[in-house]
Structure 1
Amino acid sequence: MLRNRNVWIVLIGEFGAGLGLWFGIIGNLEFMQRYVPSDFFKSFILFCGLLAGVFVGPIAGRMIDEYSKKKVLMYSGFGRVLSVIFMFFAIHYHSIVLMIVFLIFLQISAAFYFPALQALIPLIVKKEQLLTLNGIHMNVATIARILGTSIGGILVVATSLTNIYGMSMIAYAFLFVMTYFINVDETRVERTDNKKEKEKTNFTEIFKIIKNTPIVFNVIILNIVPLLFIGGFNLMVIKISDIQHSASIKGYLYTAEGISFLIGAFIIKYLTKYFRPNHLLYFFTATTAIAHLSLFFSKYSSMSVFSFALFGLSVGCFYPVASTVYQTSIDKSYHGRLFSFRGMFERVAMQIVLLSTGFFLDTIGLKYMVLIFGAISIIIVLNSIWREKHNLVNPYNKETQGFSN
């Protein structure tokens, strides 16, 4: 697989873009800390960008299935580059409104880019290599995140926000150039020229497919558990930093989570040889819930680092399995719509979590918020197990059986 030219292009491009993404996120956090005092208002700003991604999701799904995935990646990559221009103006004028515009354009580009990438991956490697590539891809993204947050934290102190976003723009431009060199046979992508054929690419078709593929539905529901943590990730990092009166704890939390994610994505390939995918998904969503609950003791630096490390390990194992289930359980002709729907679902969930996190942090505080979210996570896991036990979900069909072999 590693002799595959397309694989290297995707991984190198992802690494460069990941650096740019996390430079931008660190810049976003610094910008909001300077000009936005309320946690709830911070969450509302992030909410606006995510909402834009939801609105364009159905269009993105149809276009990814109907047109060249490479072209969708290129256009969306170019959109990422242009979006940073709005942030330059936001910094110059100290404008929250322009920052929101930046986030909207960035999320619209992401709504096209990430589903197209997930739909492209099964076209560049064999089925039995999917789990390995999903794990490697997530590891590359995590290494970029660790370096991006570490370097971004240094840059916040050493240089201006304008320079940080300038580096982010350069990284996005690098991704755009790398995408140009992808060479994949997409002759199976049929152009729809008549009404009957266009109906086949109707976005709502994916709901019927998901309904008829219970394991995919089950994975989507279980995906809520890590989203309850991810949605409020940055706000929790800021709050823990305030609670402990330590700016350096931010770097420790990001690093602990990132390194653990790398370990999880590495060991999951071996775990799937001994355990069924559904059992692994249940176990690691349960450990994610435990990680959330353990943040009740977040005033202790060692405990907060442990919580983020446990979360990183859990999602590092969860997401490669979940992505492979998606890619192997549903026909490739529906992948664009499937991953667009997944992205829409995650954005809606994250919007709710973002606003809830901001509201709870302003009202009841971090300790009691994590108890609520942790309890919800446990209920979701137990309900999914109950549905399986009562034969409401077929978790282990012949399509997903042994996909790691």
Structure 2
Amino acid sequence: MWRNRNVWIILLGEFVVGLGLWAGIIGNLAFMQEVVPSDFHKSLIISIGVLAGFIVGPLAGRIIDQTKKKTVIQWASIGRIVSVLFMFAALYTNSVMWMVIFLITLQIAAAFYMPALQSIIPMVVNNKDLLTLNAWQMNARTVSRIVGTAAAGLMLSYFELKWLYIISLIVYIIMFFITNGLQLHETANQSIKDKEQGGFKEVLPMLKEHPVVLMTLVLMLIPTLFLGSFNLVIMKISEIHQSTTISGLLYTVEGIGFMLGAAGLRFISDRVKIATLLFSLAFVIGAMELMFLFADVAFLALLTFAVFGFSVGCFFPTTMVIFQNQVPKEYHGRFFSFRNMIDSVIFQVVLLSTGMMLDLIGLSGMGLVFGIISLSLTISFLLFSKKKNVIMQVQ
């Protein structure tokens, strides 16, 4: 696998585009702090971009299945480059409207880029290497987040805000040329072109025919409950301990745990059946949500985030391989677009629910609710898989 140039292009591209993305996110926050006084308006502006990506999801899925995926990746890369130009206009005019256009363009590009990339991965390696490549791709994403946020924060201390977007522009241009080196044997899917539908209506019957895919899709709600509340929970724990230092430590141990989990996944999966692994990870994540009951103990809070990071570092690559193997290839574009849309909706719902529950019942109560939901889902689908004899296979 490591002699395959496509593998290195995917990993390098993931790291490079992550640097540009996080530099832009830090820049966006800094810009809004200057020109948008209301926190509600800030969240509204960010949501507009997410909504745009959600709206184009069905179109993106159909186009990815109809056309060559490398072509989609390259046009999405061009879309990212164009989006940064709108942000330069926002900086020059001090206009929020240009920033909104920037976010809309960027999210639309992402709506095409991510499902296309997820569809390409099973095309470049054998089934036995899918787990490894997915794990390392997520590690590249995690490292880029750590490096990107740290570098962007440092740059803001010494340079003007525009330099963050100059870096983003350079990175996206580099990304375009990197992905140009992909060597894929693919043709446009004429069977989809010939159909008027080719949309999500065909994905739903496919899910019924592949219960393992539907079950795994629902199980992904369990880590999303934790991830959707991630930043708010860290801020709450920081308030409980009256310490900003613990916030940095929580982010750090979670990131390290994630990378260790992803790096060790191949070793673990060779020794544990995939169904046993997935349900065990779901149980552990649910248990870590219950551990919010003890968030007032610093060591237990750090342990919770470290174990959660390790668990999701194993969980997400495993679910991705199940999707890539079990979903028929002609549905990959639409399915991954559908999955990304579901993720974005659930994430927003969890975020709003977390804020409400933290106000009403506190961190301990929220952890109890999320933990019970997660463990109930895990037990229900475990019993379902035993009753229906659902077979999970990744190679």
TM-score (norm 1): 0.87
- 5+ residue gaps in structure 1? none
Deviation (angstroms), 1:88 = 4.1
- Which AA in structure 2 matches 1:307? T
| Residue of 326, 329, 350 corresponding to 1:329 | 326
Percent identity over paired residues: 44
Distance 1:177 1:193, change over 3 A: same
- Which AA in structure 2 matches 1:3? R
Partner of 1:109: 109
Deviation (angstroms), 1:123 = 1.1
Deviation (angstroms), 1:328 = 0.8
Partner of 1:320: 317
- 5+ residue gaps in structure 2? none
* C-alpha distance in structure 2 between counterparts of 1:246 and 1:88, whole Å: 37
Distance 1:35 1:253, change over 3 A: farther
- Which AA in structure 2 matches 1:323? M
Q: Deviations over 1:339-397 (max 9, x none)?
A: 11111111111121222234444555444333332332222222212322332xx4325
- Which AA in structure 2 matches 1:168? S
Partner of 1:396: 391
Q: Kindly report the root-mean-square deviation, in angstroms, between the aligned alpha carbons of the 2 structures.
A: 2.7
Q: Deviations over 1:187-235 (max 9, x none)?
A: 3x323597xx324734321111111000000000000111112223334
Partner of 2:204: 207
* C-alpha distance in structure 1 between counterparts of 2:96 and 2:330, whole Å: 41
Partner of 2:376: 379
* C-alpha distance in structure 2 between counterparts of 1:168 and 1:291, whole Å: 36
- Which AA in structure 2 matches 1:190? N
Partner of 1:72: 72
Partner of 2:336: 339
Partner of 2:6: 6
Would you say the 8 A contact 1:24–1:165 is kept in 2? yes
Partner of 1:175: 175
In the comparison of the two structures, how many residue pairs are matched?
Answer: 395
Deviation (angstroms), 1:334 = 1.2
Deviation (angstroms), 1:320 = 1.1
Deviation (angstroms), 1:99 = 4.2
* C-alpha distance in structure 1 between counterparts of 2:158 and 2:370, whole Å: 37
Q: Deviations over 1:39-61 (max 9, x none)?
A: 76655444332222221111011
| Residue of 257, 273, 277 corresponding to 2:274 | 277
* C-alpha distance in structure 1 between counterparts of 2:6 and 2:68, whole Å: 15
- Which AA in structure 2 matches 1:395? V
TM-score (norm 2): 0.89
- Which AA in structure 1 matches 2:150? S
* C-alpha distance in structure 2 between counterparts of 1:361 and 1:33, whole Å: 25
* C-alpha distance in structure 1 between counterparts of 2:84 and 2:298, whole Å: 35
* C-alpha distance in structure 2 between counterparts of 1:165 and 1:216, whole Å: 39
* C-alpha distance in structure 1 between counterparts of 2:33 and 2:239, whole Å: 11
